[in-house]
Amino acid sequence: METTAVRVRNLRKTYGERAVVDDISFDIAPGETFGLLGPNGAGKSTTVEILEGYRRRSGGEVEVLGKDPGTGGLDWRARLERDAQVVLLRCLQEALSNVTKHAHATHVVVHAEVRADGSARVTVSDDGAGFDPSAAPPGFGIEGMRERVALAGGRFAVSSAPGDGTTLSVTLPGTAGLGSGGAASAPVPTTTPTSAAGTPPSGVRVAAGEGP
């Protein structure tokens, strides 16, 4: 029986001379609830993506479920949570984080739907600065989202251009499983940035429902 689910020693991730994750170490026991806290840009998402095998580290040692995420194969990845709700939520969090940090948008629209065939789709659109998807910098997490969706058998798309805003969409098939038991009618989690009062800030609209 594994006594440590996650083991991290002196983890580092750099982009050029900029250190995004700088010499962190921790252990997580099986069944333990563990949180990474910090402001935007502190390296939380980068650390999680390294643990999941979606991003290469620059230094240090990492072991998850007895394997190095950098070399773990499909069998190892299959042991990690790939429930549709988790995939959708993580992509939604990353997309909204990008809007907050990079887009300089005045309006953001999040739409989530579960279709009659059990498939689920989440779309995030903003009227911000936009970018060239083929030249997105590593900090945007585009490749991590793309790989996460591909493992769940879904489709990932980004439409953007400098000055024209960005639309990101994630579609997962009904067979990906929405919640325990794969029930097609399970709700899709929808998350937006919130103010201190717990309400979406001005300019953010949320639409959620069941599509045709």
pLDDT digits (tens, 9 = 90+) for 148-192: 888 788 899 999 999 999 999 999 887 544 443 333 333 333 334
Q: What is the pLDDT of residue 82?
A: 55
Rg (CA), the chain: 18
**Residue type present at position 139:** G
Question: Do residues 10 and 25 lie in contact, with contact meaning Cβ atoms separated by under 8 Å?
Answer: yes
Q: Which CATH superfamily is domain 6-78 in?
A: P-loop containing nucleotide triphosphate hydrolases (3.40.50.300)
Tokens of 50: 């390294």
Q: Which CATH superfamily is domain 84-210 in?
A: Histidine kinase-like ATPase, C-terminal domain (3.30.565.10)
Domain range annotation of the chain: 6-78, 84-210
Distance separating alpha carbons of residues 203 and 107, to the nearest angstrom: 5
- Enumerate residue ranges in the chain where pLDDT < 70: 1-2, 74-75, 77-83, 137-140, 175-212
Q: What is the pLDDT of residue 1?
A: 53
CA distances from 15 to 18, 50, 66, 142 (A): 5, 14, 27, 16
pLDDT digits (tens, 9 = 90+) for 60-77: 999 998 889 888 776 676
Contacts of 127 (CB under 8 A, 6+ apart): 105, 106, 107, 165
